[in-house]
Structure 1
Amino acid sequence: MPAQLVLVAGAGGAGSSTVAARLATTAAAEGVDVVLADLDPVCGAASLLPPHGDRPRLVDVSARADRSSASMLRELVRLLGLDDRLVDEVGLLPGSDLVAMLLALRERASSTQLLVVDAGSRAVDLAAVAERMPWLAARVLPAQRGWLTTSNPLVASALGRRWPGDRVARALADAHQEAVAVRDLMSGAVAVLVEPSPVDRRSLRHEVGLALHGVELRARVRGRADSEDTEAVPLVPDGSRATEPLLDLVTAGPSRCAATITPDGEAWLWRIGLPLLRSRDVRVTRSDDDLVIEAVGVRRVARLPTALRRCRARRAVVRDGTLEVRFEPDEQEMS
């Protein structure tokens, strides 16, 4: 079975790193094969692990820097007459660390039981990147010799036999498969939301954003960012809660927050949980074969299944913590 992925989310200073470190340490002490991933390489959860005793394994994102795919891309850029340092510089752009983290998690998913990610304030962004990776990879799959010949015949002629078309096509297809695997891993993720206080409005984006991307919120806890005690993490959702029950919550199976599609007469209803909001707080639009949903500064582009692509989105409402979009058959398609 693939590993259970747990995102520990929270605004800056809420204490998500402390909670992630203790959760991973508790799992290791109970004999769970656990990997701890940290988006902050300096002051994140890895820096809060106890020096002795049971410790989780750590993700080393830097180990992906010299993969063969990067070498292939560097060669292709050089053949196109561009500066091959572009590959390195693009890899350092903001957000590239999220992609590297997701790929590293995917590599470890089949060889461990539990993946704990100290995602902090970037948890929603991590979920969004995981969902969009297959879409982006699919858009560059046509980058083969035929595409280059059509779009830029002068470059294709100059490259001649040096054009590594087959190898590029295989690499892009592999990249797409890997992106799909990343999305599938995130589709089963659950989350722990660490709040500095019950009335902190910064938690709204995390709760709504995670739900919108299909990540189930298993626990909402209080953390003390000023605590340096790595032996005990204060988790206070409703009174005092030890770390062990929290571990039981996050390992109780994959997320149950995915979007559902149900028939309604000749129409279809697309539903996903969306807590704390009203209909006027959400904007839903159709873009080709995608459904674009925007709320509290979070944007999700959901790929529509085949059954809905020939339908029109007629109505979107939020009712009882659920976003419901009604799709009706396109009359032109039916005629």
Structure 2
Amino acid sequence: MRTILITGPGGSGRTTLAAATALTAAAEGTNTLVLTTDRTDTLGAALGVRTGPAPVEAAPRLAAWRPDPAQDFREDLTALQDRASTALDLLGASRLDPEELNPLPGADELALLRALRAAALSESYDLLVVDLPPLPQALALLALPEELRRYLRRLLPPERQAARALRPVLGRLAGVPLPAEWLYETAARWDLELAAVEAVVADRDTVVRLVAEPGPAGSDALRAAGLGLALRGLRTDLVVANRVLPEASPDTWLAGPVAQQRKTLEEWREKYDVRPVAHLGRDPRGADDLTALDVPGADRDIPVAPLEWPVTDRIGEDGVLVWHIPLPGAIRDELDLVRRGGELVVTAGRFRRVVPLPSALRRCTVAGAALRDGELSIRFAPDPKLWPQSR
């Protein structure tokens, strides 16, 4: 299944264009599902339907889905209480009834991730269009599966589960209680679910489509988005320039905004594949307006180069291995690198990622780094104590 993740600055029209993208793809003959967690149901209003916790038909070959975070939250917490019943009883804790549970902050994001996984496993659709939150929240959301899995592996290492049979004995020897089996089982289940979501986001058929209005604010947002997405290894297939004003307008007041948009579009086209969408003069509502926007649909023919972090072998020439990390828009003074065991902590501006080192680089020490033309090159020198020695 092809997946298009659509995001952009708040107010850029990303939800409307997600609806238009899905409608265009369905009209082209692609079985499509469009997914959102927007509580105001902007997606449903644009499509002319009421979305809910189950997919509803919005047009031929098109279904729309808005999962209910409250329902998912209640089910998850109730299940957690059941698994921890022994510990709760020992503490004399009082159970929470599902009716009194209200979703906490973050429930929407977790519901969207769960729905993303469920949709990817479905065989009913060929295309999944996801209406993500605005850019800052979207970037944090896309990072969530990887980050949560890393936390789980550190707090409850999977290798410790092998000692289940010895846990009572080890507990008596150590004089302290060891984590209950239900905790490891819960962590293992969460790890599997998060891994499935992470696989969808990292899949070669998954792309990010950015929506922005051509102007200074849109340019700033795209610059930040490009850096954040690159640090996560995510690929952008298109930039949709929304609400583009007509060039031949008789209104002289529009001359300034039109000239500014024209200049911005020229700058964007130097870096991205840009698809302009004309301003309709009104808020699009219904299938006719969405069709009039003339947005690209699945666009399977758009070439999207894989975003790779290759390692170059320069041991024979310079005695180092070089790890190349594309970071478009990065600023040298805002870059920071920290080696932490078998991981590298990369900070670029307000974005940060902890990445495992490739196996060859784990046997090396960091020998320097340089940022040039939007690419960070990190040099690693083989550690004589760990590097295989030739005889």
Band of TM-score, shorter chain: 0.7 to 0.9
CA 1:141–1:219: 2 relative to 1, 3 Å = same
Question: After TM superposition, where is structure 1 displaced by more than 6 Å over at least 4 residues in a row?
Answer: 86-91
Q: In the TM superposition, what is the alpha-carbon distance from 1:168 to its structure 2 partner?
A: 4.1
Q: In the TM superposition, what is the alpha-carbon distance from 1:227 to its structure 2 partner?
A: 4.0
CA 1:328–1:39: 2 relative to 1, 3 Å = farther
Give, in whole Å, the separation in 1 of the partners of 2:361 and 2:97. Answer: 40
Specify which of 239, 245, 248 is matched with residue 220 of structure 1: 239
**Letter of the 1:14 counterpart:** S
**Letter of the 2:129 counterpart:** V
* Structure 1 equivalent of residue 267 of structure 2: none
CA 1:150–1:327: 2 relative to 1, 3 Å = farther
CA 1:73–1:282: 2 relative to 1, 3 Å = same
Q: Give SS of 2:9's match.
A: coil
Query: For the Cα contact (< 8 Å) 2:346–2:354, is it kept in 1?
Result: yes
Q: In the TM superposition, what is the alpha-carbon distance from 1:10 to its structure 2 partner?
A: 1.0
* Structure 1 equivalent of residue 129 of structure 2: 116
CA 1:286–1:118: 2 relative to 1, 3 Å = same
**Letter of the 1:149 counterpart:** G
CA 1:261–1:59: 2 relative to 1, 3 Å = farther
* Structure 2 equivalent of residue 268 of structure 1: 321
* Structure 1 equivalent of residue 43 of structure 2: 45
Moved more, 213-222 or 257-266: 257-266
Specify which of 72, 75, 86 is matched with residue 79 of structure 1: 86
Deviations 1:139-177 (A, max 9, x none): 343486639938995656xxxxxx962x54334223222
Query: For the Cα contact (< 8 Å) 1:133–1:183, is it kept in 2?
Result: no
CA 1:332–1:150: 2 relative to 1, 3 Å = farther
**Letter of the 2:194 counterpart:** A
CA 1:261–1:311: 2 relative to 1, 3 Å = same
**Letter of the 2:310 counterpart:** T
* Structure 1 equivalent of residue 347 of structure 2: 294
CA 1:97–1:298: 2 relative to 1, 3 Å = same
Please say if 1:149 is aligned against 2:171.
Answer: yes
Query: For the Cα contact (< 8 Å) 1:36–1:46, is it kept in 2?
Result: no
Please say if 1:27 is aligned against 2:35.
Answer: no
Give, in whole Å, the separation in 2 of the partners of 1:306 and 1:125. Answer: 27
Q: Give SS of 2:283's match.
A: coil
User: Which 5+ residue runs of structure 1 have no aligned equivalent?
Assistant: 157-162, 236-240
**Which of the two has higher C-alpha Rg?**
2
Q: In the TM superposition, what is the alpha-carbon distance from 1:185 to its structure 2 partner?
A: 1.3
Give, in whole Å, the separation in 2 of the partners of 1:89 and 1:132. Answer: 30
Give, in whole Å, the separation in 2 of the partners of 1:260 and 1:48. Answer: 43
CA 1:258–1:127: 2 relative to 1, 3 Å = farther
In the comparison of the two structures, how many residue pairs are matched? Answer: 318
User: Which 5+ residue runs of structure 2 have no aligned equivalent?
Assistant: 50-57, 244-278
Q: In the TM superposition, what is the alpha-carbon distance from 1:285 to its structure 2 partner?
A: 1.9
* Structure 1 equivalent of residue 185 of structure 2: 170
Deviations 1:175-207 (A, max 9, x none): 222222221211133111111233222332222
* Structure 1 equivalent of residue 368 of structure 2: 315
Please say if 1:58 is aligned against 2:60.
Answer: no
Give, in whole Å, the separation in 2 of the partners of 1:214 and 1:187. Answer: 8
Deviations 1:245-300 (A, max 9, x none): x5316x75777124333322253322232112343332222223222222231112
Give, in whole Å, the separation in 2 of the partners of 1:219 and 1:126. Answer: 20
% identity of equivalent residues: 28
Give, in whole Å, the separation in 1 of the partners of 2:312 and 2:94. Answer: 51
Q: In the TM superposition, what is the alpha-carbon distance from 1:86 to its structure 2 partner?
A: 12
**Letter of the 1:134 counterpart:** R
Normalised to the residue count of structure 2, the TM-score between the two structures is 0.69
RMSD over equivalenced CA pairs, Å? 3.6
Give, in whole Å, the separation in 1 of the partners of 2:99 and 2:375. Answer: 43
Give, in whole Å, the separation in 1 of the partners of 2:121 and 2:150. Answer: 23
Normalised to the residue count of structure 1, the TM-score between the two structures is 0.79
Q: Give SS of 2:216's match.
A: coil
Specify which of 105, 109, 114 is matched with residue 94 of structure 1: 105
**Letter of the 1:15 counterpart:** G
Give, in whole Å, the separation in 1 of the partners of 2:41 and 2:85. Answer: 37
Please say if 1:106 is aligned against 2:111.
Answer: no
* Structure 2 equivalent of residue 192 of structure 1: 209
Q: In the TM superposition, what is the alpha-carbon distance from 1:105 to its structure 2 partner?
A: 0.8
Give, in whole Å, the separation in 2 of the partners of 1:104 and 1:327. Answer: 41
Query: For the Cα contact (< 8 Å) 1:208–1:275, is it kept in 2?
Result: yes
Q: In the TM superposition, what is the alpha-carbon distance from 1:303 to its structure 2 partner?
A: 2.1
CA 1:84–1:186: 2 relative to 1, 3 Å = farther
